[in-house]
Amino acid sequence: MKNFEFYAPTRVIFGKDSEKQIGTIIKNQNCKKVLVHFGGSSAKKSGLLDKIFESLKEAEIDYVSLGGVVPNPRLSKVYEGINLCKKEKVDFILAVGGGSVIDSAKAIGYGIANECDVWDIYSKKVIPTGCLPVGAVLTIAAAGSEMSNSSVITNEEGWLKRGCNSEYARCKFAIMNPELTYTLPKYQTASGATDILMHTMERYFTKEQSMEITDRISEGLMRTVIHNIKILMKNPKDYNARAEVMWAGSLSHNDLTGCGSVGDWSCHQLEHELGGMFDVAHGAGLAAVWGSWARYVYKSNISRFVQFSVNVMGITNDFYNPEKVALEGIEAMESFYHSIDMPISIKELGVNLTDDQIDDLAYKCSFKDTRTIGEFQKLNMEDMKKIYIMAR
């Protein structure tokens, strides 16, 4: 078991009508002016934004708003937010949406608090020394950004998708009402659940001897998501299933499922380049590459895949043929993805990769052939190419 630190400072307000408390909660932050940051029209059509604006007015909190965040949030929108916050002297950012909106809000916060081009932070040229305070009203269970220290931004110049992890960007609070996710399309719900599973799986697949309690938490979380997403595919307004998945999303990415081990994150790195180049949904992109990654690396620690197969996917153990059990677990996970209409290949994403595109993806993912990715098995640029080829 590795030494570790666990830090989860975000205050969570969970349950029905919890968004009605937003005015009081933000007033307790002692801020003078808030940027309400959101995505598309759904927050407006649902009436959620009007409720938030009214709550802020009742609490006598001044605010400005900025919408237009898209999946795989753009650097150009971040720059727009930074300029607006500076002009309006904003001192708190409220993200109303899912991971893309929260990530964009964090990036704006970095841009205000650091004397540099914010992209220099995401391209690892500058280490952030602060972030404007951020809070979240969650409308989709997926990225877990509401409780994580991470954010990911796409730069349209070169379509590079890069992340930044810093404790400065932890949300001060996260308001979670599962009812706010009722109207999500099935594809978004399924893609979100896949993202939740992958956040745990990236930590679960390790060569280190993990803590037993961490493994049990991880396995229980994955089984819970798999069970409840099947319910939501049939009944999207099942409150209990929505609540289970929403809470799992936060727990999967606040580092609880990684205590005592070293995460891999290869699939996320591989998908980031797909998302940057083709603007695919993050969860769907992860599902599309996971099986190929798993088959490429499983022999590095077959016992870990056997444990996953038996404890998560319900495969019967065969002590005389662990490789068979490991592969059956991978196949079972892919079958589950198909059962919720998630892809298991890049072609199923609607993308027909050329050889040149594969070369470009691997070149970008390896930072121009200057780094490896992964901890379960170190992957160089040639390994990345092979996985993209397997996945296409």
Taking only the tens place, the pLDDT of each residue in 108-135 is: 999 999 999 999 999 999 999 999 999 9
pLDDT of residue 1: 73
Q: What is the pLDDT of residue 210?
A: 75
What is the rounded distance in angstroms from the CA atom of residue 155 to the CA atom of residue 164?
13
Q: Find the CATH number of the domain harbouring 37.
A: 3.40.50.1970
Spatial distance between the Cα atoms of 139 and 180, rounded to a whole number of angstroms: 5
- Whether the predicted pLDDT of 285 surpasses 90: yes
pLDDT in tens, 176-210: 999 999 999 999 999 999 999 999 999 999 988 77
One domain, residues 235 and 365: yes
Tokens of 311: 């404890």
User: Is there a single domain that holds both residue 227 and residue 298?
Assistant: yes
The answer to whether residues 110 and 121 touch, using CB atoms and an 8 Å cutoff, is yes
In-domain check, residue 302: yes
* Predicted pLDDT at 4: 86
Residues 255 and 372 in one domain: yes
**124 phi and psi, to 5 degrees?**
70, 20
CA geometry: angle 352, 355, 360, nearest 5 deg: 100
**Of 161, 180, 199, which closes a domain?**
180
Domains held by the chain: number: 2
Residue 135 host element (H or E): strand 134-138
Range of 90's domain? Answer: 11-180
pLDDT above 70 covers what percent of the chain? 100
DSSP annotation of 259: T
Residues 79 and 213 in one domain: no
pLDDT of residue 332: 98
**Residue range 139-160: mean pLDDT, rounded:** 95
CATH of the domain at 254: 1.20.1090.10
Tokens describing residue 363 = 């070149």
pLDDT at 66 > cutoff 90 = yes
- Is the same domain home to 204 and 322? yes
Does residue 190 share a domain with residue 173?
no
Q: In 3D, which of 371, 349, 244 has the Cα closest to residue 289?
A: 349
Q: Which amino acid, 244?
A: E
Q: Does 190 share its domain with 165?
A: no
Q: What is the pLDDT of residue 44?
A: 82
Question: Is the same domain home to 174 and 293?
Answer: no
* Whether the predicted pLDDT of 41 surpasses 80: no
* Burial class of 60 by CB neighbour count within 10 A (0 to 12, 13 to 18, 19+): exposed
Same domain assignment for residues 72 and 202: no
Q: Give the mean pLDDT of the chain.
A: 96
